Chains A and B, each alone.
Chain A
Amino acid sequence: MNKTNLIKALSFLSLFSIPLIISNPYYGDVLIIYCIFVIYALSLDLLLGYTGIISFGHASFFGLGAYASAIMTLKLHLSYWLGLLIAVGITAVVAFLIGSLTLRKLKGIYFAIVSFAITQVFRFLVVEWETVTNGAAGIASIPPPEINLIFEKIAFKSEQSYLFIVIAFVILVTLSLYRVVNSGLGRAFLAIREGEDLARSIGIDTCKYKKIALVISAIIAAISGSLYGHYISAIGPRIFSLHYVSLPLIIVIVGGKGTLLGAFIGAALFFVLPEFLGFKPEMKMVIFGLLLLMSIIYMPDGIASKLGQIRDKFFVKNGEIKNGKVTVRN
């Protein structure tokens, strides 16, 4: 392991000290919700920011992940981890089917509308399929994840312990996505966003790669949904509502789409900043609304893109060639 890799590994490990430092359960709670929505927003960023697919239906995958893993653990009494795996699998299959049915024919706003309609189908299904989903009442008492050691079971009940899990997932998802977007696959996604005809002319099967983007994105959304359900321990059909559709969109657009970093910035603005600035609850949304408006007017590409421009101005640019060597940020 070289020096840079060691520094990278140590800085990731140091993130796990956060739960140890934060003892106040209130702050723990804020950070857990923040991390969950970072993962949720990252999943949308892959689709919207990198592949250019506008989805108003990402709550389908978030909700499906939450419902499926809750049902697996509560009704089938599977362990959280197996439940999560199955929930992710189910969501991936559903995303593949939705992608196969819609992505070939529908583009832009048409896909967005259909994707929103699909969330409403899910909402309808969970309300009607009472025997499995408890209908409109939703599912309560979802157990926290457990790890089965030989002598005893450790349940991640407290905020502090749950924070460990969500931080681990944030690192896992961010690293995987970072590697994906900096590979040939990521370049295929970007090519689709930039111009489908040109992408096809250089051999990219745009329909296939859009489906791949949708499935990867849905898998990540399902992970965040599952983490959400098992944390707040009760979910209902509201999880497919406009609130959960718009949250990741706002986070990604304000934070900066197609950057990954944008998900962290946007979610911090939405979940962390208001808490730590101590806004009165009634003022919170007003101030946040103003912030949103300002950032969209002055930074239409998002805050992270603005930061990227500043970095390009003062540091080495991506793709710059000096003395026959190419600078590629990795």
Chain B
Amino acid sequence: MAKLLLEISQATKYFAGLRAVDDVNFRVFEGQICGLIGPNGAGKTTLFNIITGFLSPTSGKVIFNETDITGTAPETIAKMHLVRTFQQTNMFSHLTVFDNVLTGTFLLNRYNLWDSIWKTKNFRNNEDELKKLTYQTLRYCEMEHLSSTRASNLSYGNQKKLGLAIALATRPQLLLLDEPAAGLNNKETMQMASILKKIQKDFGITILLVEHDLKFVMSLCENIVVLNHGQKIAEGPPNTIKEHSKVVEVYLGTNHQHNSH
């Protein structure tokens, strides 16, 4: 059995009385692609923010690699190789594509201020390494021809890909993707799905993603967690989720009933 990588236990978050996330439990195992779905306002992004340290849960725990990371600062969590992307601000818009990905290699810097002022051998070697890594990452994401383009001038699909490339440059162990296919056309969505599969296969990176596009999630994920009104209503492989009565109810609206809290 694969190693347990991430465990969310009894995560709860209140916003002024509103239960955005309500007693959610689930686990992600190494090498999996796991999906987190649910209608708008289900608490998916809030849960992402809790896992990555951008929000502290009101109660509950987040365990990553056997370490309790509940309430730890996002940058510290990133150092543990748990990295996320964002729905909106997923790139440094005024920098070139190359500089965006190079910035993503920040944690692999092995020199200090003195080294950079004197351009020591250590600095030059490390910078060469990082630039090589950046180039490889861009090639991997099929973006090397856009290398000198300013990020803000990219098409929406390429901006999403750039966000992924930046995250990939950090050498993550677990990658959290916030709606990687939102706003993409069919062709771009397929491309994104194939890149994600490739990442998982080639680097063994575990992926947890939030997504609206059910087809995308069903085709990609081995395990799916469904949230509604902050609560987990179902969990399992795509086939089970597809036929789960509560999920069908939430998505198709038949016999729709609100669980008020």
Interface residues of A (CB under 8 A from B): 176, 179-180, 182-185, 187-188, 190-191, 193-195, 197-198, 200-206, 317-321, 324, 326-328
Closest 3 CB pairs of A and B: A319-B98, A183-B116, A194-B92
Q: A195 to B93: give the CA distance in the assembly, Å.
A: 9
Q: A194 to B106: give the CA distance in the assembly, Å.
A: 15
Contact A203 B111, beta carbon cutoff 8 Å: no
Contact A194 B107, beta carbon cutoff 8 Å: no
A205 partner residues in chain B, CB cutoff 8 A: 73, 75
List 24 A-B pairs, Cβ < 8 Å. A179-B116, A179-B118, A183-B113, A184-B106, A185-B113, A187-B106, A190-B99, A191-B106, A194-B92, A194-B94, A197-B86, A198-B86, A200-B54, A200-B73, A201-B83, A202-B78, A202-B104, A202-B166, A202-B167, A317-B96, A318-B99, A320-B147, A321-B98, A321-B145
- Chain B residue with the shortest CB-CB distance to A198: B89
Q: A326 to B102: give the CA distance in the assembly, Å.
A: 12
- Chain A residue with the shortest CB-CB distance to B81: A203
B212 partner residues in chain A, CB cutoff 8 A: none
Contact B78 A191, beta carbon cutoff 8 Å: no
- Chain B residue with the shortest CB-CB distance to A176: B117
- Chain B residue with the shortest CB-CB distance to A200: B74
Is B95's beta carbon under 8 Å from chain A?
Answer: yes
Given A201-B83, A319-B147, A326-B98, answer yes or no on A184-B78 (Cβ-Cβ < 8 Å).
no
Size band of the interface chain B makes with A: 35 or more
B67-94 toward A: CB 8 Å interface, digit per residue (1/0)? Answer: 0000001110011000111100111111
A203 partner residues in chain B, CB cutoff 8 A: 75, 78-79, 83, 106-107, 170
Contact A319 B99, beta carbon cutoff 8 Å: yes
Contact A318 B98, beta carbon cutoff 8 Å: yes
- Chain B residue with the shortest CB-CB distance to A181: B116
- Chain B residue with the shortest CB-CB distance to A188: B106
Contact A202 B170, beta carbon cutoff 8 Å: yes
B103-143 toward A: CB 8 Å interface, digit per residue (1/0)? Answer: 11011010101001111000100010011001100100000
Is B188's beta carbon under 8 Å from chain A?
Answer: no
- Chain B residue with the shortest CB-CB distance to A178: B117
Interface residues of B (CB under 8 A from A): 52, 54, 73-75, 78-79, 83-86, 89-99, 102-104, 106-107, 109, 111, 113, 116-119, 123, 127, 130-131, 134-135, 138, 144-145, 147-148, 166-167, 169-170
Q: A320 to B123: give the CA distance in the assembly, Å.
A: 22
Contact B54 A190, beta carbon cutoff 8 Å: no
B74 partner residues in chain A, CB cutoff 8 A: 197, 200-201
14 additional contacts, CB 8 Å, given A179-B119, A180-B113, A320-B148? A179-B116, A183-B127, A184-B109, A187-B102, A194-B95, A197-B89, A200-B74, A201-B78, A202-B104, A203-B106, A206-B75, A319-B96, A319-B99, A319-B147
Q: A187 to B138: give the CA distance in the assembly, Å.
A: 18
B93 partner residues in chain A, CB cutoff 8 A: 194-195
Q: A203 to B84: give the CA distance in the assembly, Å.
A: 11
- Chain A residue with the shortest CB-CB distance to B110: A184
Contact B92 A180, beta carbon cutoff 8 Å: no
The distance from the CB of A159 to the nearest CB of chain B, in whole angstroms, is 30
Q: A327 to B102: give the CA distance in the assembly, Å.
A: 13
A320 partner residues in chain B, CB cutoff 8 A: 98, 147-148
A179 partner residues in chain B, CB cutoff 8 A: 116-119
Q: A203 to B49: give the CA distance in the assembly, Å.
A: 15
The distance from the CB of A280 to the nearest CB of chain B, in whole angstroms, is 41
Given A198-B91, A200-B78, A202-B78, answer yes or no on A318-B96 (Cβ-Cβ < 8 Å).
yes
A191 partner residues in chain B, CB cutoff 8 A: 92, 103, 106
The distance from the CB of B235 to the nearest CB of chain A, in whole angstroms, is 26
Q: A324 to B135: give the CA distance in the assembly, Å.
A: 8
The distance from the CB of B128 to the nearest CB of chain A, in whole angstroms, is 10
A185 partner residues in chain B, CB cutoff 8 A: 113, 116
B113 partner residues in chain A, CB cutoff 8 A: 180, 183, 185
Contact A195 B116, beta carbon cutoff 8 Å: no
Contact A183 B123, beta carbon cutoff 8 Å: yes
Q: A143 to B145: give the CA distance in the assembly, Å.
A: 59
Given A179-B117, A319-B97, answer yes or no on A197-B54 (Cβ-Cβ < 8 Å).
yes
Q: A184 to B103: give the CA distance in the assembly, Å.
A: 7
The distance from the CB of B142 to the nearest CB of chain A, in whole angstroms, is 13
Contact B147 A198, beta carbon cutoff 8 Å: no
A184 partner residues in chain B, CB cutoff 8 A: 106, 109, 111, 116, 130
Q: A190 to B97: give the CA distance in the assembly, Å.
A: 14
Given A188-B106, A190-B92, A326-B131, answer yes or no on A318-B148 (Cβ-Cβ < 8 Å).
yes
Q: A182 to B170: give the CA distance in the assembly, Å.
A: 19
- Chain B residue with the shortest CB-CB distance to A196: B89
B169 partner residues in chain A, CB cutoff 8 A: 202
Contact A326 B135, beta carbon cutoff 8 Å: yes
Contact A201 B94, beta carbon cutoff 8 Å: no
Contact A201 B92, beta carbon cutoff 8 Å: no
Contact B116 A180, beta carbon cutoff 8 Å: yes
Given A180-B117, A185-B113, answer yes or no on A321-B75 (Cβ-Cβ < 8 Å).
no
- Chain A residue with the shortest CB-CB distance to B130: A184
B111 partner residues in chain A, CB cutoff 8 A: 183-184
- Chain B residue with the shortest CB-CB distance to A180: B116
A319 partner residues in chain B, CB cutoff 8 A: 96-99, 147-148
Contact A198 B83, beta carbon cutoff 8 Å: no
Q: Looking at the complex, which one of A187, A198, A206 makes contact with B90 (CB distance below 8 Å)?
A: A198
